[in-house]
Amino acid sequence: MSDIHQGGAVATSAPPSSVDEGLAPGDLAAKYGLSVSGARPGLFEYIRELWSRRHFILAFSSAKLTAQYSQAKLGQVWQVATPLLNALVYYLIFGLILKAGRGMSTEVYIPFLVTGIFVFTFTQNSVMAGVRAISGNLGLVRALHFPRATLPISFSLQQLQQLLFSMVVLAAVAIAFGSYPSLSWLLLVPALLLQFVFNTGLAMIMARMGAKTPDLAQLMPFVMRTWLYASGVMFSIPVMLADKPAWIADILMYNPAAVYMDLVRFALIDGYAASNLPAHVWATALGWALLFGIGGFVYFWKAEERYGRG
């Protein structure tokens, strides 16, 4: 016990209660009903919190999309111009010089190439945004309490909105080369929905990894470029690998980027028949979406309390 004298008054501080002596910090917190700040909620409670912030997710993704090209004179035009310019470069190199479109007419190959660029860019940008979702928004993460999964989900939704703008141009390219609207175009909806779920799960995985290792953002462009060349963006995998062991083509055709590209191509391009798709392609697309969508979400949630710390 100690006495403090101030202005003639005596204040006495009592010693800590003996009943609390020897208690571990965790036991002491439990005894008085204290909880860890920012502790990870249960999985279903976490999902409920995310759902309650659905309006924020949508508004945040829309704001990011608008701000992305705010400093450019052409503004949102670059959303479509960038993948189109990439498609032009790839057509000059792979289509004209390397003849990568063998087995396809020009009316099929050009929509084939443009579709591949647009659809792969959707996944590529989702992954790159996911890597920086936490490490690039530390101020927001440390200042406010909210489910951190809202960030990678918002960035994936931003990329989906950007792709939907691009689909207008993609449809125009398909029509210009003889593929007119038909019932098969309705298959775009489930194909892009499954790809969005896959992209979101992959973005969550990369967000957790990027939060721990920010340098991962410097490595990912090389990884994505390798994935692009291995996914048949510029060429038909079965035709290009016809003289190679069949298992090599199977691995490349069943990789998720190739699966979602082929589904969109099949829906849009009249000359791209079902024979160009791997067997059980819809089941494969659903499997990739569920595996990465659910697995990525759980993987991200397990590190919820660690984001923004350290």
**214-233 burial: b if 16+ Cβ within 10 Å, else e:** eebbeebeeebeebbeebbb
List pLDDT tens digits, range 128-140: 999 999 988 888 8
Span 216-242, mean pLDDT? 92
Span 89-106, mean pLDDT? 82
Q: Which residues pair with 12 in a beta bridge?
A: 3
Structure tokens at 181: 């609207």
Q: From CA 87, how far away is CA 101, in angstroms rounded?
A: 13
Instruction: Check residue 13 and give its pLDDT.
Output: 52
Rg (CA), the chain: 26
Judge whether 130 and 206 are in contact, CB under 8 Å. Answer: yes
Span 35-42, mean pLDDT? 68
> Kind and range of the H or E element at 163?
helix 150-176
Q: From CA 38, how far away is CA 304, in angstroms rounded?
A: 8
Span 137-159, mean pLDDT? 91
pLDDT classification of 271: cutoffs 50, 70, 90:
confident
Instruction: Check residue 96 and give its pLDDT.
Output: 80
pLDDT classification of 62: cutoffs 50, 70, 90:
confident
pLDDT classification of 121: cutoffs 50, 70, 90:
very high
pLDDT score of 223 more than 80: yes
Of residues 306 and 187, more confidence is placed in: 187
Span 51-78, mean pLDDT? 80
Residue that the structure tokens 């082929």 belong to: 262
Q: From CA 24, how far away is CA 22, in angstroms rounded?
A: 6
Instruction: Check residue 22 and give its pLDDT.
Output: 66
pLDDT classification of 77: cutoffs 50, 70, 90:
confident
Q: Name the phi and psi angles at 5, rounded to 5.
A: -100, 125
Q: From CA 182, how far away is CA 279, in angstroms rounded?
A: 23
